Chains A and B, each alone.
Chain A
Amino acid sequence: MIFVIIFQISKTSEYVSVLKGEEKSRKQNNKINAFLMVIFLVLGLFGAWYCNELYYKKTLFPQGSASLEGKEIDSMLLITIAITGVVFVITQVLLFWFSFKYQEKEGKQAFYFPHNTKLELLWTTVPAIFLTVLVVFGLKFWFKITGDPPTGHHVVEITGSQFKWDMRYPGKDGVLGKVNFKKYNSPVGNTLGVDFEDDKSWDDIHSQEMHLPVDKPVKLVIHAMDVIHNVGLSHFRMKMDAVPGIPTTMWFTPTITTADMKKKTGNPNFVYEISCDQMCGKGHFSMRGVIIVETEAEYKKWLSEQTPEYFGFYPDKNPNKAAPDTAAKATVTTAALAP
C-alpha cells in the first residue's frame, strides 16, 4: 500500500519536473537535500547524545570493573572513546556542514584545489601520533595481562563442552591431575576425561559453579572437550578461547564479592555470569556458567565442604571412611558400641 503511494508520488514528481523544467526541479531538489544534510547532522548528534542517555546506564561502566585488571581496560576504553569521539564529531560536522555550505549555487564555480602537501602531511602525522599513544598504552597492558600471573595466585580449571561449563579445583596439593580425552567416560561419568591414574587428581574437586576468593589473583586453565568455546567474563573484562587439544590460560584478580556487587548495582539478582563467546552450536546462547566471588573465609568453607571427584568414582578409597582421624574414631566408637 505504502509502496504504491510512494511509487505514484515518484512518478508524479517526474512528470511535474518535466512540466516545470528539469533544471528548475533539479535545483529545488538540490536545496532540499542540502537542507536535509544539516538536519541530519543536528538530529544525528542529538540522537547520539540521547542514545547515550538511554543506554549508558545499561553498560558495564557505571558498575565498574569487578577485577583489578579490568579497571585498566575501562580507563583505556574511556581514553579511546574520548579521542575517537572528538575525531568523530569534528569529521562528521565537517562532512555534513560542507555538504550544506558548498551546495550548488548559480554562477558559482568550485575551487580548483588538487593537492596541498602540507595539509596532507598534517593529517598523516597527527593521527599517527595519537595512534602511537593508544598502541603504547594498549601494549603495555596487553603484555601485563598475557604475562605470568602474580605470585600467590591460585588455579582453577574450566572446561567447556556443548553446552555447559565444568570447573576443577586442584585440592590440597595445589596441582591439578592430568586430563586425557581418551579417558572420557572411564570410569563411567568421567565427563572431563580426568586421568585417575595420576595421583595428583585424587584430591581434585569437580564443581559446576566457580567460587573465587576476593582480592586473590586466579589463573584459569581453559579446556574444551568438543568444539571451540570461549570463557567470556564481561564483568571482569576478560575473555579467552577454549580450544580442544590446546589448553589456554588467563588470569585476573576479582575485587568485588557477589554480595557487594548486589548492593552496588542495587540488583538483588546480580550474578557474575560466564558466557560462551564463541559460536559453538545450537545451544551456544544457553551456555551459561556462574561465578561466586566471596570472602576468603567463605571460600575456604565452601572448599572444605566439597568431596574430591575421585572418591565419587572410587568410594572405597575415600580416607574419610577408613582414615585414622575422624573416620577412624567413628569406626572405633561404632565398634565399641557393637555388642
Chain B
Amino acid sequence: MSSVATLHDAGIHGSHDVHHEHHHHETFITKYVFSQDHKMIAKQFLITGIIWAIIGGMFSVIFRLQLGYPDQTFPWLEDLLGHWAKGGKLHPEFYYALVTMHGTILVFFVLTAGLSGTFANFLIPLQIGARDMASPLLNCMSYWFFFLASIIMMSSLFVQTGPASGGWTIYPPLSALGDASQGSKIGMDLWLVSMAMFIVSSLLGGLNYITTILNMRTKGMSMTRLPLTIWALFFTAVLGVLSFPVLLSGAILLLFDRNLGTSFFLSDIVVAGKILPNEGGSAILFQHLFWFLGHPEVYIILLPAMGMSSEILSVNSRKPIFGYMAMVGSLFAITILAFLVWAHHMFVTGLNPFLGAVFVLLTLLIAVPSAIKVFNWLTTLWRGNIRFTPGMLFAIGFVSLFISGGLTGIFLGNSALDIHLHDTYFVVAHFHIVMGVASFFGMFAGVYHWFPKMFGRYLNNVMAYIHFWVTIIGAYLIFWPMHYQGLAGAPRRYYDWSNWESFKNFGGLNEFISLVAMIVFAVQLLFVFNFFYSIFKGRRVTDKNPWGANTLEWTTPIRPGHGNWAGEIPEVHRWPYDYSKDGKDFIPQDTPVGDDESKH
C-alpha cells in the first residue's frame, strides 16, 4: 500500500507540504471552477445538487397545488409559467411535464449526482488516507459532464413544446412519438441527450471511485478496516458502472427510434389517426433496459445514505457499529440482488409468469440483508451514550424511514399483491419514503456531519433541529396517508380525480398533503439558507476532531488544503469503530494498538 500512496504523492504537486498550496499559483478558475481537488469537486456537486433540489422540490409544490386545490385558480401561476398555466390553472400536459421533471431531477440530478457525487468525492480520499482521487482530471471532467447534462436538462424547460412529460421512466411508445404527447417532441430529445451526458459523468466518477478505493488506501488500511461509508460508496460505484451503460444503450436506441425511423421499441401503432410503418419492435424491451439500470439506481441512491448513517450512528452512540462484517456482507448481498430484481417493476406487463416468480423470490430476498441492517443499527443504539447532533437526528430518521418504506416493499415485491397495488398511490408512498425521503435524510445527515470538515464552520443547530423535526413529521404526514389512497386503488400520475366515482373522495386529504408539502418545502429552504449562511458566517470549528470520531478525515487540518494532510499520510492500525473500548471514549484509526488492549 505504501508504495502506491507514495506514487500518488508524487502526482500531487510532488510535495507533502500543505503550505505549498499558497505558493502554488492557483487562479480563481483552477481553484473554484475547473478544480481538480476532490474536496472542491465535492462541493461543486453538492451545491449544484442543492440548486436542482430546490427546482425539483418547487415543481412538486406546484403540481401538488393542482392535486390539493383542483377547483381553484392561482393567477400568479400564469405569471410564472405563461401558457402552461393559462388562467392560473396548470395545463394537464404541463402537469405531467412537472411530474416527469420532478422525478428525473430528484432521482438523477439530486440523489445520484448530488449525493454520490458529493460524498464519494469528499469522503473517499479523506477516509482511506489518499491525497486525492486516482485521476483528479477525470474527476473534474465528471463534474463538468454533470454540469453539461444539467444545462441541457434545464434548457428543455424552455422549449416551446415543453420538457419531457412521459414520466421519469420514459416508456416508449409514449416517449418515442411526438404525436402522442407534446413532451415527446424536442423536450424528449434533450432529455435523452442530457441523460447521455449524465451517464458519462457518472461513469467517470464511478470508475474513479472504484480505482481509488482499491488502489490508494494508506498503509494499514486493509479492506476490512474501511469505514462503512467507503464500503457503501464502493458498492454504489460498482452498481453505477455496471448498470448505467445499459440505460445509455436504451437511450440511444430510443433516440434512433425517434429520429432515424428504426423500430426497436415500436410496433403496430396508430397514433393521431396515422398508421405508423414500424413493425417487429417491442415496447417491453425498453422497460427491461430501463429497469436494468432503474432498479440498481434506487440502491445507487440508497447505499450511500446507508453507509453514512451507519458511520454517524456509531460515532454519536459512542459505540462500534454492531456487526461490521454483517453490514459489509449485507451491502454486498444488496448489490448483487439489485441486479437481479429489475423485472419486479414489470409484473403487470404480461411478463412470463415463471420469470415473474423468480423475480418475486429474488426481490423478497432483499428483505433479509435489509432486516440485518436494521437490527444492527438498532443494536448499535442499544446501551450507547447517544449525542443528538443534527447529523445523528437525521441518521435516526433515516433508519425510521427505511423501516417504514422497506416494509411496504414486501407488499409490492410479491407479484400477486402488486397486481392490485401496481401504479397506485401505494407505490408513490413506498418509494418516496424508502428511496426519496430516506436517502435525503442520509444526505442531510452527511451534510450536517461533514460540514465542519468541508467548510471549517458549523451549521446553526437550532435551525438544524427545526429542519429535522418538521421534515420527519412532515414526511410522514405527507406519505403515510398515501398508502390508504393506494389501497383505495387511486392511480398515480392523475391530474384530477374529480370525474372518478371510485377515487374522488380523498379531496380533503389531498389538500392536507399539499399544505404539508408546502411547509416541508419551506423548511428545506431554511436548511438551504442555513447552509449558505454558515459557509460564511457559521460558528468556526476550533477542534480538529469535533465529533470525537475515529476516521482519518478528522486527522487532517481544520481546513485541509489540496493534498489533505500537511505531513505524511497517517498509517492505520485498527478498524474505525473502537468507541468506548477499554474505558477510552474513542481510539482513532491511526493510533497503534497497545499491548494490553483487548481484542474485539
Q: How many residues of B contact A (CB 8 A)?
A: 132
Bound Cα distance A6, B325 (Å): 43
Interchain CB contact under 8 A, A285 and B348: no
Cβ–Cβ < 8 Å partners of A243 in chain B: 283-284, 349-350
Interchain CB contact under 8 A, A110 and B326: no
Bound Cα distance A43, B96 (Å): 35
Cβ of B21 < 8 Å from any Cβ of A? no
Cβ of B580 < 8 Å from any Cβ of A? yes
**Interface pick from B3-11, B493-501, B551-559:** B493-501
Query: Chain A: which residue is nearest B381 at the CB level?
Result: A98
Bound Cα distance A11, B149 (Å): 38
Cβ of A187 < 8 Å from any Cβ of B? no
Q: Pick the residue among A73, A275, A281 that contacts B416 (CB under 8 A).
A: A73
Interchain CB contact under 8 A, A277 and B423: yes
As a 0/1 sequence over residues 508 to 532 of chain B, the CB contacts with chain A under 8 angstroms (1 = contact) are 0100000000000010011001100
- A326 → chain B, closest Cβ, in Å? 38
Q: Pick the residue among B364, B378, B404 that contacts A94 (CB under 8 A).
A: B378
**Given A36-B469, A91-B378, A226-B180 in contact, is the A70-B420 Cβ separation under 8 Å?**
yes
- A86 → chain B, closest Cβ, in Å? 10
Q: Pick the residue among B167, B174, B461 that contacts A29 (CB under 8 A).
A: B461
Cβ–Cβ < 8 Å partners of A103 in chain B: 385-386, 388
Cβ of A108 < 8 Å from any Cβ of B? yes
A residues at B contact (CB < 8 Å):
2-3, 6-7, 9-11, 13-14, 26, 29-30, 33-34, 36-37, 40, 44, 47-48, 51-52, 54-56, 58-61, 70, 72-73, 76-77, 80, 84, 87-88, 91-92, 94-96, 98-99, 102-105, 108-116, 119-120, 123-124, 127-128, 131, 134-135, 137-139, 141-143, 145-147, 161-162, 181-182, 184-185, 193, 225-228, 230, 232, 234-235, 237-241, 243-246, 248-249, 267, 269-271, 273, 275-286, 288
Bound Cα distance A283, B581 (Å): 63
- B542 → chain A, closest Cβ, in Å? 10
Interchain CB contact under 8 A, B383 and A239: no
Cβ–Cβ < 8 Å partners of A271 in chain B: 501-502
As a 0/1 sequence over residues 320 to 344 of chain B, the CB contacts with chain A under 8 angstroms (1 = contact) are 1111111000000000000000000
Q: List 9 A-B contacts (CB under 8 A).
A: A40-B473, A61-B487, A98-B384, A113-B383, A234-B488, A239-B423, A245-B281, A246-B282, A285-B92
**Interface pick from B41-49, B228-236, B268-276, B293-301:** B268-276
Query: Chain B: which residue is nearest A44 at the CB level?
Result: B476
Cβ–Cβ < 8 Å partners of B388 in chain A: 29-30, 33-34, 99, 103
Bound Cα distance A134, B409 (Å): 12
Bound Cα distance A235, B177 (Å): 33
- B351 → chain A, closest Cβ, in Å? 9
Interchain CB contact under 8 A, B488 and A58: yes
- B16 → chain A, closest Cβ, in Å? 34
Cβ of B484 < 8 Å from any Cβ of A? yes
Cβ–Cβ < 8 Å partners of A269 in chain B: 501
The 5 closest A-B pairs by CB, nearest first: A234-B489, A245-B267, A146-B353, A248-B350, A245-B268
Cβ of B171 < 8 Å from any Cβ of A? yes
**Given A226-B173, A228-B174 in contact, is the A240-B350 Cβ separation under 8 Å?**
yes
